[in-house]
Chain A
Amino acid sequence: MLRGTVINIVLAGLLLIVFFFGCNVGQYRMSIGKVFETLFGGGDESSRLALFEYRLPRLCLAILVGLGMGMSGVVMQDLLHNDLASPGTLGVSAGSGLLVTVYVALLQTNNSSAILLPVLALLGGLGSAGLIFLLGTSRKKRLQPTRLIMTGVAMSSAYGAVGTFMMLLLDDSQLEFLQRWQAGELWGVRWDYIVVFAIWILLFGFMTYRGGRTLNVINVGYDIARGLGVNVGRQFIYLSLCAVALSSASVAFGGNFFFLGLIGPHIARRLVGTDARVLLPASGIVAGIIVLLADMLVQGWTFLANIPTGIVISVLSVPYFLYLLMKA
């Protein structure tokens, strides 16, 4: 626990360092000194514009998306006792995505009020989680995590098909927006979105963190948890709700980052162990660092310019996933 806390603090420090480096990456060149100066109130107009209007929102968004996905992944993996569970593999993010796609397609718009998108994504995510749970389990048999994941993979492709059909009805600019969003682009780069997002993540992050002890017990085994007096059914629903809420908001503002919710918890588990109380923040921070680094690559390397961040994350994290699969 103590070791975990220390590592968490170190990770948070690392996140800050990467964040500062992130401030220096972009098309408009600024010296590190100037970045510092601008951050703390100084600087000229153009550097303030570059920093506060373009870079900072993007960086904050990247961190928040990472936090949401990372924590959500931990909860799902612990609840299902399976290392391959995540918002992406269970089809929860695809469900969130579908509702956002339908909304964009029906209203023919690509900007909307800040609170509506996460709520829509939450509804989609909850509906999809419920559906997958309904289809992937049966009353007679025990809960089988692998079956849930298989169902999730299949349902994602169904959502994808419906989404593709909706997209065929769109004109080119909306289409491009949706394609980018599906590939995972940090698009909600507006301060009002970020404020809503931050409050959302804080709220549900806190609620999830409160369930950390329960999560530890459930992770040992459903029967043991029941024996220790945990109301497994109720806690399961409560924690899944939190996890879906966290991932939905990330999907709504950041797009579909398929592997993030899987990789974050894995790396974090290697660093801090399996205690959910230290694992939750660590996983969020690790995922945040991954998004930040991927985004810096996109911003700083002209070869990758204009490519959605999610693609960079996928290309970077698939090899790691395959490595995990080979070792498992």
Chain B
Amino acid sequence: MREKLRRRERKLYNGTKFVICMSVGCGLLLIFMIGFMYFGAEKISFADLWNGLFHFDEGNFNHVVVRDMRLPRLLADIMVGVSLSVAGAVMQGNTKNPMADSGIMGISSGSIFAVVFMMIFLPDASRLERIGYSCLGAGISTMMIYLVAFIGKKGITPERMVLSGMAISTLFSSITSGIVLKEGLTSEMLKYTAGSSANAIWMDVSVSAPFFLAGFALALMISRSLTVMNLGDDVSKGLGANTAIIKLSSTLVVLVLSAIAVIIIGPVGYVGLMVPHIVRHFVGTDYRLVLPSCAVLGALFVVVVDLIARIMIAPLEFPVGILITMIGVPFFIFVSRRQRGDAFGG
């Protein structure tokens, strides 16, 4: 009885924390969104900002900057942040691997390969086709990673997932750089691999948005089952969950969301590792609370980092992907130090 009470208390406690986390996150996100629109290489007054958004005048250069450069980029950043962190959280729940991340695990290497392949062999492809191929690439690499980690006596362990991800991504990235070097596209490729949303246009946002929304909605739909799944396959089967369908749909979520991120910003890792970790620290392990918080904090994180990247060495830009990696690696090491010894099987 007391145990039950305590659990109830704890649930409430997490619920309160969830509300606090969401409201603070949303508030900060709003502030930084305005900051993102306001600061930049071009000085823009608040009046221009307001008018550019709501009373658009094509002849006014500042309005064009606001509407066609900063706004799509802001939306793209938000989409990337949400996608990466939700994909990371879902992946961590699905594989019960606290270190899972679409970039670290090498899923994005397949998308990058597909994108480069298209850049060279199908240069006229539409954005929609690009997203399709990028998803396909991500799908192939994911399948290979899972397959390799799955076959074997020990089955899927976090360590084997990371190592097989590393090997598969080395394979894909070496084929990619082989093609790039053969075709002499090094500098374009480099700009792409550094990771930046600077070239995001309305087209990207509008084409990816439906997929993004569908992926996000699917993630929310399976959030309850993910929480149950985290208790272990046997328990969740006992509770009547259809593990196969949930695993399949969560893999689909990861694929679509990480492919969108790759299309918009390039290969960016570690967001999907950091944000869910921080979120779980606040709101616990209930995925119905974790996923929305991840979405807000992920968007906040990418918007803030991209803002820093834009104004740090203005008028030039620091590649945001590199900045994120520089923040993410210490975090990864910190987390892996805190892991219990058996988590890696070592």
- Given known A322-B164, A325-B152, A325-B163, contact A176–B193 (CB-CB < 8 A): no
| Contact with A164, one of B182, B322, B329, B345 (Cβ below 8 angstroms) | B322
**From B166, which residue of chain A is reached at the shortest CB distance?**
A153
**A165 close to B (CB within 8 Å):** yes
- Given known A310-B174, A314-B170, A318-B171, contact A153–B162 (CB-CB < 8 A): yes
**From A322, which residue of chain B is reached at the shortest CB distance?**
B148
**B248 close to A (CB within 8 Å):** no
Which interface class (under 10, 10 to 19, 20 to 34, 35 or more) fits B?
A: 35 or more
**From A310, which residue of chain B is reached at the shortest CB distance?**
B174
- Given known A146-B159, A306-B182, A315-B175, contact A325–B333 (CB-CB < 8 A): no
Stretch of A41-49, A57-65, A154-162, A228-236 contacting B (4+ beta carbons < 8 Å): A154-162
State how many angstroms separate the Cβ of B34 from the closest Cβ of chain A. Answer: 29
Q: Are A311 and B175 in contact (CB under 8 A)?
A: yes
State how many angstroms separate the Cβ of B161 from the closest Cβ of chain A. Answer: 10
Interchain CA distance A88-B251 in the complex, whole Å: 30
Q: Are A157 and B269 in contact (CB under 8 A)?
A: yes
**B203 close to A (CB within 8 Å):** no
Interchain CA distance A147-B337 in the complex, whole Å: 8
Secondary structure of the B side of the interface? helix
Stretch of B25-33, B51-59, B78-86, B184-192 contacting A (4+ beta carbons < 8 Å): B184-192
**B93 close to A (CB within 8 Å):** no
With a CB–CB cut-off of 8 A, which chain B residues contact A180?
181
| Contact with B182, one of A141, A153, A168, A307 (Cβ below 8 angstroms) | A307
Q: Are A325 and B174 in contact (CB under 8 A)?
A: no
Q: Are B344 and A146 in contact (CB under 8 A)?
A: yes
**A183 close to B (CB within 8 Å):** yes
**A175 close to B (CB within 8 Å):** yes
Secondary structure of the A side of the interface? helix
- Given known A157-B325, A161-B325, A168-B319, contact A150–B344 (CB-CB < 8 A): yes
> Which of B174, B178, B325 has the largest number of chain A CB atoms within 10 A?
B174
**B341 close to A (CB within 8 Å):** yes
> Which of A144, A154, A155 has the largest number of chain B CB atoms within 10 A?
A154
State how many angstroms separate the Cβ of A254 from the closest Cβ of chain B. Answer: 15
With a CB–CB cut-off of 8 A, which chain A residues contact B99?
150
Q: Are B186 and A176 in contact (CB under 8 A)?
A: yes
**From B148, which residue of chain A is reached at the shortest CB distance?**
A322
Q: Are B152 and A326 in contact (CB under 8 A)?
A: yes
**B242 close to A (CB within 8 Å):** no
State how many angstroms separate the Cβ of A328 from the closest Cβ of chain B. Answer: 7
State how many angstroms separate the Cβ of B102 from the closest Cβ of chain A. Answer: 14
Q: Are A179 and B341 in contact (CB under 8 A)?
A: no
Interface string of A183-225 (1 = CB under 8 A from B): 1000000000000000000000000000000000000000000
- Given known A154-B336, A172-B187, A327-B152, contact A258–B170 (CB-CB < 8 A): yes
Q: Are B336 and A151 in contact (CB under 8 A)?
A: yes
**B288 close to A (CB within 8 Å):** no
- Given known A138-B337, A164-B322, contact A146–B174 (CB-CB < 8 A): no
State how many angstroms separate the Cβ of B112 from the closest Cβ of chain A. Answer: 13
Interface string of B251-266 (1 = CB under 8 A from A): 0000000000000000
**B22 close to A (CB within 8 Å):** no
**From A137, which residue of chain B is reached at the shortest CB distance?**
B337
**A145 close to B (CB within 8 Å):** yes
Interchain CA distance A164-B196 in the complex, whole Å: 13
Interchain CA distance A325-B162 in the complex, whole Å: 11
> Which of A145, A155, A182, A314 has the largest number of chain B CB atoms within 10 A?
A314
State how many angstroms separate the Cβ of B149 from the closest Cβ of chain A. Answer: 8
**From B99, which residue of chain A is reached at the shortest CB distance?**
A150
**A167 close to B (CB within 8 Å):** yes
With a CB–CB cut-off of 8 A, which chain B residues contact A146?
159, 344-346
> Which of B99, B170, B341 has the largest number of chain A CB atoms within 10 A?
B170
State how many angstroms separate the Cβ of A264 from the closest Cβ of chain B. Answer: 16
> Which of B149, B175, B178, B191 has the largest number of chain A CB atoms within 10 A?
B178
Interface string of A281-325 (1 = CB under 8 A from B): 000000000000000000000000011101100110010011001
| 17 A-B contacts (beta carbon < 8 Å) | A136-B333, A138-B337, A144-B346, A147-B336, A147-B339, A150-B99, A154-B104, A154-B329, A155-B329, A160-B325, A179-B177, A179-B186, A183-B178, A310-B174, A322-B167, A327-B152, A328-B160
- A interface list, Cβ under 8 A from B: 82, 84, 89, 135-136, 138, 141, 144-147, 150-151, 153-155, 157-158, 160-162, 164-165, 167-168, 172, 175-176, 179-180, 182-183, 258-259, 306-308, 310-311, 314-315, 318, 321-322, 325-328
Q: Which 6 A-B pairs have the closest CB atoms?
A: A146-B346, A161-B325, A158-B329, A314-B174, A318-B171, A146-B344
Q: Name 17 extra pairs, CB < 8 A, besides A147-B339, A151-B336, A154-B336.
A: A135-B333, A145-B346, A147-B346, A153-B162, A158-B326, A161-B326, A165-B322, A168-B190, A172-B186, A179-B181, A179-B190, A183-B178, A315-B174, A322-B148, A322-B164, A325-B149, A328-B152
